[in-house]
Amino acid sequence: MADALHAIARQARPHTAALLADADDPHAELLTLFWGPQFDREYALALWARLSQRQPLAAAPLLPALLSVGDRFDALARGDKARLRRLIARHRALSE
């Protein structure tokens, strides 16, 4: 399932800078999206709504990609979901 994790990262990476631009702690925001057993679509839509108020042109193409990332995450096995969370936490530690 490493390929599935890489696919999620490749799909999300181009959009995270815009989506999390005003976040005090972008890694915490990412962990919030991926923390539960399912992708937190409600929180993702709230982040997207904030972006669409600031940058409507940047937000428009992001929504389908964001929901697709959620679908990919939901399809992962429990262990792969945990691994993704650990990777985000490790990246956070390396970024500090």
Domain boundaries, the chain: 2-95
Q: What is the DSSP letter of 25?
A: -
Quote the pLDDT of residue 52: 93
Q: How far apart are CA 20 and CA 22, in angstroms?
A: 6
Which of 4, 9, 15 lies closest to 65 in space, CA to CA?
15
Structure tokens at 27: 């890694």
Question: Average pLDDT, whole number, for the chain?
Answer: 87
Q: How far apart are CA 49 and CA 84, in angstroms?
A: 25
**Is residue 96 over pLDDT 80?**
no
Quote the pLDDT of residue 95: 74
Global pTM reads 0.85
**Is residue 56 over pLDDT 80?**
yes
- Cα within 13 Å of Cα(94), Cβ side: 6
77: left (phi over 0), alpha (psi -120 to 50) or beta: beta
**Is residue 20 over pLDDT 60?**
yes
**Is residue 14 over pLDDT 90?**
no
Quote the pLDDT of residue 1: 54
